[in-house]
Amino acid sequence: MRVDTAEARKLFRSGDVLVAHAVFVSGRLRSPPARAVFDVLELFAFARPAQPCVPSPLGIARALGLDIAQDAESYARALVDCAGLLLEELAALSEEAKLKLRALAASLGKAGWRWGPPVLAAIGEPEPSNNPIRGFEAWRAMREWEDSAAPDKPSSHPVEASEATARLRLLVGDYHEARPEQGAYAEAATYAFGPREAEGSPRIALIEAGTGTGKTLAYLAPASVWAEKNGPGLWLSTYTRNLQRQIMQEIARLYPDPVERNEKAVVRKGRENYLCLLNFEESVKRNALAPGQRSVALGLAARWVTATTDGDVSGAGFPAFLAASMPLREITDRRGECIYSACPHYRTCFIEKAVRRARHAPIVVANHALVIAQATADWMASEETNDTPPERRTRYVFDEGHHLFDAADSGFAMLISGKEMAELRRWIRGPERGARSRMKGLSERIRDLIDDDDTAREALDEAVAAAAALAADGWLNRASQGGAFGAGEAFLASAYAHVRARTDDADTFYNMEAGVEAPGEDLLAASRELGHALHAIAQPLGRLAKALRKYIADGAEDMEPSTKARIDAAARGVERRAKIIIPTWMQMLDAFETGTVNDNFVDWFEIAREDGRDADVGLERHWVDPTIPLAEDVLLRSHGAVITSATLRDAPNDADDWASAEVRTGALHLPEPPRRASFGSPFTYAEQARILIIKDVNRRDIDQVASAYRELFLGAGGGALGLFTAVRTLRAVEQRIALPLSEAGINLYAQHVDRLDTGALVDLFRAEENACLLGTDALRDGVDVPGRSLRLVVFDKVPWPKPTILHKARRARFGKSYDDLLTRLRLKQAFGRLIRSREDKGVFVILEPATPSRLLSAFPPDAPVLRCGLAEAIAEIRAFLAS
Ligand code: SF4
Rounded to whole angstroms, the Cα distance separating 190 from 82 reads 49
The number of CA neighbours under 13 Å toward the Cβ of 107 is 29
Amino acid 559: pLDDT: 78
SS3 of 793, please?
strand
Distance between Cα 347 and ligand 1 center (Å): 9
Ligand 1 atom 7: the closest Cα is on which residue? 338
- 94-125 burial, b if ≥16 CB within 10 A, otherwise e? eeeebeebbbbbbbbbebbbbbbebbbebbee
CB 705 within 8 A of CB 733: yes
Residue 324: its H or E element: none
Is the shortest distance between the CB of 439 and ligand 1 below 6 Å? Answer: no
Is the shortest distance between the CB of 565 and ligand 1 below 6 Å? Answer: no
Low-confidence ranges of the chain (pLDDT < 50): 175, 379-389
CB 273 within 8 A of CB 313: yes
Atom number, ligand 1, closest to the C-alpha of residue 346: 1
Q: Which of 143, 274, 330, 340 to mutate to test the pocket of ligand 1 (most atoms within 8 A of CB)?
A: 340
Distance between Cα 174 and ligand 1 center (Å): 46
Rounded to whole angstroms, the Cα distance separating 5 from 31 reads 10
Residues present in the chain in total: 883
Give all strands (DSSP E) within 183-224, no chain letters.
203-209
Amino acid 564: pLDDT: 78
Is the shortest distance between the CB of 338 and ligand 1 below 6 Å? Answer: yes
Rounded to whole angstroms, the Cα distance separating 231 from 848 reads 51
Ligand 1 atom 4: the closest Cα is on which residue? 349
Distance between Cα 339 and ligand 1 center (Å): 6
Amino acid 378: pLDDT: 57
Sign, CA dihedral 807-809-810-816, equals positive
Sign, CA dihedral 728-730-733-739, equals negative
Rounded to whole angstroms, the Cα distance separating 580 from 586 reads 10
CB 166 within 8 A of CB 304: no
Rounded to whole angstroms, the Cα distance separating 708 from 567 reads 62
Is the shortest distance between the CB of 438 and ligand 1 below 6 Å? Answer: no
For the chain, helix, strand, coil in percent to 5 are 55, 10, 35
Q: Which of 352, 437, 444 to mutate to test the pocket of ligand 1 (most atoms within 8 A of CB)?
A: 352
Amino acid 333: pLDDT: 85
Angle at 598 between CA 596 and CA 602, to 5 degrees: 100
Residue 423: its H or E element: helix 418-429
Distance between Cα 345 and ligand 1 center (Å): 6
pTM to 2 decimal places? 0.90
Classify residue 594 as exposed, middle or buried by CB count within 10 Å of its CB (0-12, 13-18, 19+).
Answer: exposed
Pairing type for strands 865-868 and 689-694 reads parallel
Distance between Cα 138 and ligand 1 center (Å): 15
Q: Which of 140, 143, 145, 276 to mutate to test the pocket of ligand 1 (most atoms within 8 A of CB)?
A: 276
